[in-house]
Amino acid sequence: MTNPYPLGLRLAGLRVVVVGGGAVATRRVPALLDAGADVLLVAPEISPALRAHADAGRLRWLPRRFAPDDLDGAWLVHVAVDDPAAAATVSAAAQQQRVFCVRADDRAAATAWTPAVTRHGPVTVGVLGGGDPRRAMTVRDAIRTLLHARQGTLLTDSVAQGAPVDTATGRVALVGAGPGDPELITLKGWRLLTEADVVVADRLVPGLLLDELRAGVELVDASKIPYGPSRTQDEINRILVDRALAGAFVVRLKGGDPYVFGRGGEELLACAAAGVPVTVVPGVTSSIAAPAAAGIPVTHRSVAHEFTVVSGHVAPDSPASLVRWDALATLRGTLVILMGLKNLPAIAATLLAHGRPADTPTAVVQEATTGAQRIVRSTLGAVAADVAAAQVRPPAVVVVGDVVGVLG
- d(CA 229, CA 72) in angstroms, rounded, equals 67
Q: Where does this chain touch ligand SAH (CB under 6 A) — which range of 140-148, 187-195, 346-354, 394-402?
A: 394-402
- d(CA 358, CA 222) in angstroms, rounded, equals 40
- Told to judge if 82 belongs to the known catalytic residues of this protein, a careful annotator would answer no
- Told to judge if 202 belongs to the known catalytic residues of this protein, a careful annotator would answer yes
Is 261 one of the binding residues for ligand SAH (CB under 6 A)? yes
Name the catalytic one among 38, 70, 197, 202.
202
Contacts (CB under 6 A) with ligand SAH, residues 304-343: 338-339
Name the catalytic one among 224, 234, 254, 342.
224
Is 204 one of the binding residues for ligand SAH (CB under 6 A)? yes
Q: Which residues have CB under 8 Å from 362's CB, separation 6+?
A: 348, 377, 378, 379, 380, 382, 383, 398, 399, 400, 401, 404
Cβ proximity of 333 and 310 under 8 Å = no
Which positions from 279 to 308 touch ligand SAH by CB under 6 A, shown as an x/- string? ------xxx--x------------------
Helix axes 48-55, 23-34, angle to 10 degrees: 30
Is 189 one of the binding residues for ligand SAH (CB under 6 A)? no
Q: Where does this chain touch ligand SAH (CB under 6 A) — which range of 78-86, 152-160, 250-258, 317-325?
A: 250-258
Is 365 one of the binding residues for ligand SAH (CB under 6 A)? yes
Torsion of CA 401, 404, 406, 408, to 10 degrees: -160
Q: How far is the CB of 34 from ligand SAH (least distance, A)?
A: 30
Q: How far is the CB of 271 from ligand SAH (least distance, A)?
A: 18
The single residue among 21, 152, 182, 255 that binds ligand SAH, judged by CB under 6 A, is 255
Measured from the CB atom, is 323 or 339 closer to ligand SAH?
Answer: 339
String of DSSP letters for 45-100 = S--HHHHHHHHTTSSEEE-S---GGGGTTEEEEEE--S-HHHHHHHHHHHHHHT-E
* Beta-bridge partners for 126: 117
- Separation of first and last alpha carbons in the chain: 59
Cβ proximity of 46 and 105 under 8 Å = no
Residues that bind ligand SAH (CB under 6 A): 179-180, 204, 255-257, 260-262, 285-287, 290, 338-339, 365, 367-369, 394-397
Which residues are identified as catalytic?
A: 202, 224
